[in-house]
Amino acid sequence: MPESGRKVLKVGLLEKRSDGLLQLWKKKRCVLTEDGVLLLPPKQLEQRPGAGDAAGRPKELHFSGMKTLDCVERKGKYVYFTVVMAEGREIDFRCPQDEGWNAEITLQMVRYKNRQAVLAVKSTRQKQQLLGHKAARSAPHVA
């Protein structure tokens, strides 16, 4: 993600709950950009940014595939939160309370969705203008 020219807004560690039977918390190096969150093994960014992990590519949670961030709960020294993807999959995270990952991700997701909505409106207006110009040119001229 960062290597593609997207602006990096925050880098740090988050813990992600595994999907397995034991649901262990695993540390992930996270990179927040204007387009989403990149999840890497904890030491990978220090070694070679952009390189895949042992299993292949780093995991990217793109804002276009996110529905919401919810279930924010503070327990002890951690904040727990859930990212709900558009297809319904839920991904649980936790981080120290003072790091504010949940707020940063939410803010960037809202900004991303707003940018997409503005682009959609502009695109619709351009199409309407183009259709209006074509209709005006093809209409018979009455004198």
The domains of the chain, with CATH numbers, are: 2-137 (2.30.29.30)
CA-based nearest residue to 45, from 3, 82, 6: 3
Cα–Cα distances in angstroms (integers) from residue 115 to residues 51, 70, 110, 122, 128, in the given order: 29, 21, 9, 11, 20
Tokens at 37, concatenated? 């969150």
Q: Point out the residues of the chain with pLDDT beneath 70.
A: 1-5, 44-56, 133-143
Beta bridge partners of 53: 56
Q: Alpha-carbon dihedral of residues 106, 90, 23, 29, nearest 10 degrees? A: -40
Beta bridge partners of 37: 32, 61
For the beta carbon of residue 1, count every other beta carbon within 10 angstroms: 20
What was the pLDDT predicted at 105? 96
What was the pLDDT predicted at 65? 95
What was the pLDDT predicted at 135? 66
> What pTM did the predictor assign?
0.75
